[in-house]
Amino acid sequence: MPDDVAAPPLTGAALIRDEVRRLPDAPGVYRMFGDGGEALYVGKARSLKKRVIQYAQGRFHTNRIALMVDLTRSMEFTSTRTEADALLLEINLIKQLRPRFNVLLRDDKSFPEIVIRREHPAAQLRKHRGAHTIKGDYFGPFASAWAVNRTLNTLQKAFLLRSCSDSVFESRTRPCMLHQIKRCSAPCVGLISQPDYDALVTEAEAFLRGKSRAVIARMSAEMEAAAEELEFERAARMRDRIRALASVAQETHVNAESVDEADVFALHAEGGQACVQVFFFRAGQNWGNRAYFPRVDKSDADAEIMSAFLGQFYEDKPIPRLILSNVEPMEGDLLREAFSMKAARKVEIAVPRRGEKRDLVDHAFTNAREALGRKLAEGSAQTRLLAAVCETFQLEGSPERIEVYDNSHIMGTNAVGGMIVAGPEGFQKNQYRKFNIRSTDLTPGDDYGMMREVLRRRFARLAKEEEAGEAPPRPDLVLIDGGAGQLAAAQEVMADLGVDDIAVVGVAKGPDRDAGLERFFLPDKPPFMLEPKSPVLYYLQRLRDEAHRFAIGAHRTRRAADMRKNPLDEIEGVGPARKKALLHAFGSARGVSRASVADLEKVEGVNEALAQRIHDHFRQPG
Mean pLDDT of the chain: 84
pLDDT digits (tens, 9 = 90+) for 475-534: 999 999 888 888 998 998 988 888 888 999 999 886 655 566 788 999 888 999 888 778
pLDDT reading at 282 higher than 70: yes
pLDDT reading at 176 higher than 90: no
Could you tell me the CA-to-CA distances from 37 to 40, 73, 465 in Å, in that order? Answer: 9, 8, 13
Most confident of 85-99, 231-245, 440-454: 85-99
Q: How many CB atoms lie within 10 A of CB 57?
A: 11
DSSP 8-state secondary structure symbol assigned to residue 505: E
- According to DSSP, the residues that pair with 544 across neighbouring strands are none
Region at 36 (left for phi over 0; alpha for psi -120 to 50; beta for the rest): left
Q: Report, as an integer, the average pLDDT of 38-67.
A: 87
Which residues, including other chains, have CB under 8 Å from residue 558's CB and lie 6 or more apart?
A: 414, 416, 436
- According to DSSP, the residues that pair with 5 across neighbouring strands are none
Q: What is the pLDDT of residue 89?
A: 92
Could you tell me the CA-to-CA distances from 400 to 236, 478, 539, 557, 586 in Å, in that order? Answer: 62, 12, 15, 30, 58
pLDDT reading at 177 higher than 60: yes
Compute the chain's Rg from CA coordinates. 31
Terminal C-alpha separation, the chain = 76
Backbone angles phi, psi at 2, to 5 degrees: -60, 155
pTM over 0.75: no
Buried b (16+ CB within 10 A) or exposed e, 68-77: bbebbbbbee
Q: What is the pLDDT of residue 304?
A: 93
State the Cα–Cα distance between residues 587 and 559, nearest whole angstrom. 24
Most confident of 58-62, 542-546, 553-557, 573-577: 542-546
Q: How many residues does the chain have?
A: 622
Which residues, including other chains, have CB under 8 Å from residue 233's CB and lie 6 or more apart?
A: none
Q: Report, as an integer, the average pLDDT of 421-435.
A: 89
Cα dihedral 256, 260, 263, 269 in deg (nearest 10): -30
State the Cα–Cα distance between residues 372 and 266, nearest whole angstrom. 12
Q: What are the DSSP calls for 359-383, one per residue?
A: HHHHHHHHHHHHHHHHHHHHHHHHH
The pLDDT-based confidence of 251 (bands split at 50, 70, 90) is very low
pLDDT digits (tens, 9 = 90+) for 122-163: 998 888 887 788 888 888 777 777 777 777 877 887 788 888
Please count the CA atoms within 13 angstroms of the CA of 8 that sit on its side-chain side. 5
| Residue spans of beta strands (DSSP E) within 122-197 | 124-129, 136-139
Q: Which of 280, 124, 138, 263 is nearest to 201 (CA)?
A: 124
Q: How many CB atoms lie within 10 A of CB 557?
A: 13
Q: At what angle do helices 83-97 and 332-343 cross, to 10 degrees?
A: 80
Q: Who has greater pLDDT, 558 or 34?
A: 34
Q: What is the pLDDT of residue 253?
A: 46
Percent of the residues in the chain that have a pLDDT greater than 70, as a whole number? 89
The pLDDT-based confidence of 371 (bands split at 50, 70, 90) is confident
pLDDT reading at 375 higher than 60: yes
The answer to whether 311 and 335 have CB atoms below 8 angstroms apart is yes
Q: What is the pLDDT of residue 187?
A: 92
Percent of the residues in the chain that have a pLDDT greater than 90, as a whole number? 27
pLDDT digits (tens, 9 = 90+) for 379-426: 778 888 899 999 999 988 889 999 999 888 766 567 888 999 998 888
The pLDDT-based confidence of 46 (bands split at 50, 70, 90) is very high
Percent helix, percent strand, percent coil in the chain, to nearest 5 = 50, 20, 35
pLDDT reading at 338 higher than 80: yes
Lowest mean pLDDT across 35-39, 52-56, 109-113, 484-488: 109-113
Q: What is the pLDDT of residue 349?
A: 94
State the Cα–Cα distance between residues 287 and 251, nearest whole angstrom. 10
The pLDDT-based confidence of 266 (bands split at 50, 70, 90) is very high
Q: Which of 217, 191, 190 is nearest to 206 (CA)?
A: 217
The pLDDT-based confidence of 439 (bands split at 50, 70, 90) is confident
Cα dihedral 572, 577, 579, 584 in deg (nearest 10): -160
Q: What is the pLDDT of residue 143?
A: 73
pLDDT reading at 252 higher than 50: no
State the Cα–Cα distance between residues 287 and 138, nearest whole angstrom. 14
Buried b (16+ CB within 10 A) or exposed e, 470-485: eeeeebbbbbbbbbee
Hey, what amino acid is at 463?
A
The answer to whether 189 and 173 have CB atoms below 8 angstroms apart is yes
Classified as helix, coil or strand, 34 is coil
Q: How many CB atoms lie within 10 A of CB 92?
A: 16
Q: Report, as an integer, the average pLDDT of 163-173.
A: 85
Which domains does the chain possess? 12-97 (3.40.1440.10), 112-251 (no CATH), 261-374 (3.30.420.10), 402-562 (3.30.420.340), 567-617 (1.10.150.20)
Q: Which of 514, 447, 457 is nearest to 480 (CA)?
A: 447
∠ CA 197-203-206, nearest 5°, is 145
Most confident of 201-215, 336-350, 430-444, 585-599: 336-350
pLDDT digits (tens, 9 = 90+) for 189-209: 989 999 999 988 888 888 777
State the Cα–Cα distance between residues 555 and 68, nearest whole angstrom. 44
DSSP 8-state secondary structure symbol assigned to residue 98: -
pLDDT reading at 250 higher than 50: no
Q: What is the pLDDT of residue 622?
A: 47
Buried b (16+ CB within 10 A) or exposed e, 134-164: eebeebbbbbeeebbebbbebbbbbbbbbbb
Lowest mean pLDDT across 139-153, 360-374, 447-461: 139-153
Classified as helix, coil or strand, 84 is helix
